[in-house]
Amino acid sequence: MTMIVNNLQQVQQRIARACAQAGRDPGSVALLAVSKTFGPEAVQEAAAAGQSAFGENYVQEALDKMAALCALGHRPLEWHCIGPLQSNKTRPVAEHFDWVHTVDRPKIAERLSAQRPAHLPPLQVCLQLNVDGGATKAGVPPGEALALARAVAALPRLTLRGVMSIPEPASEFEAQRALHLRAKDVFDQILATGGAGLERFDTLSLGMTADLEAAVAAGSTLVRVGSGIFGGRVRAAAA
């Protein structure tokens, strides 16, 4: 058994234990393998072990990886853009990704909607929340999230699926859980409004390698795990 296959099994076991402790169905939490800075061979190995959804932070790196896997004749995978998204990168994301987790302002959503090819299914999107209130952090403030959700839900070629947050690291379980619960509160507020465009609003993208248990306890439906699957990162990637 390879390191990646073994790590995948361990992460899946962690999710199952966290769900059991929270009284949740293990099937209610999906795993997103964050493959940024790792090559197509690592993705191929994880995919061979049954992993189908992969998260990438850097657009050009992701496009190169997709092309390499396609050249190898690999089966289609589900690609999630989870890095900060600038206006000049929206077109390749709209054309090649299945999900975007980092929509934090109307302009980005409008560009993604306009640039999503008509022959592809709608792009699945999450709003990125800034639950810490840090001025230099990406994400929409919680108090502005509902207005953004309504604006995104009204756009064609996009399907609003939920919210995502990357809070500052906390060492204790309860502190981690408290931060994730801030995002859960915003998710619940948006969900409670109902209305057109929120029919598939079902995704709470919270938790990474270090805090997935606290995220599951707070209600996460999708955890984003990189180093826990692929190991430590040894190089930086260009955006």
159-179: per-residue pLDDT in tens?
999 999 999 889 999 999 999
Q: What local confidence, expressed as pLDDT, does residue 135 receive?
A: 62
Q: What was the pLDDT predicted at 91?
A: 98
Average the pLDDT over 10-27 and give the result: 97
Q: 232: pLDDT confidence band, cut at 50, 70 and 90?
A: confident
Residue-by-residue DSSP string for 144-188: GHHHHHHHHHTSTTEEEEEEEE-PPP-SSHHHHHHHHHHHHHHHH
| pLDDT at 116 > cutoff 90 | yes
Residue type (1 letter), 239: A
pLDDT at 234 (0 to 100): 57
Q: What is the mean pLDDT of residues 92-115?
A: 98
Task: Classify domain 29-229 at the CATH superfamily level.
Answer: Alanine racemase (3.20.20.10)
| pLDDT tens by residue, 179-194 | 999 999 999 999 999 8
* Predicted local confidence at residue 133, as pLDDT: 76
Tens-digit pLDDT profile for residues 125-162 = 999 999 987 665 789 999 999 999 999 999 999 999 99
Q: Which H/E stretch holds residue 22?
A: helix 3-22
pLDDT grade for 236, boundaries at 50, 70 and 90: very low
Whether the model clears a pTM of 0.75, i.e. scores above it, the answer is yes
pLDDT attached to residue 16: 98
- The domain segmentation of the chain, as residue ranges, is 29-229
CB atoms closer than 10 angstroms to residue 195: 12
- List beta partners, residue 204: 163
pLDDT tens for 36-92 read 999 999 999 999 999 999 999 999 999 999 999 998 888 889 999 999 999 999 999
- Which has the closest alpha carbon to 163: 98, 101, 83? 101
> 68 is written with which tokens?
């390499």
Residue 138: per-residue pLDDT = 87
Q: What is the tens place of the pLDDT at every residue in 190-224?
A: 999 988 999 999 999 999 999 999 999 999 999 99
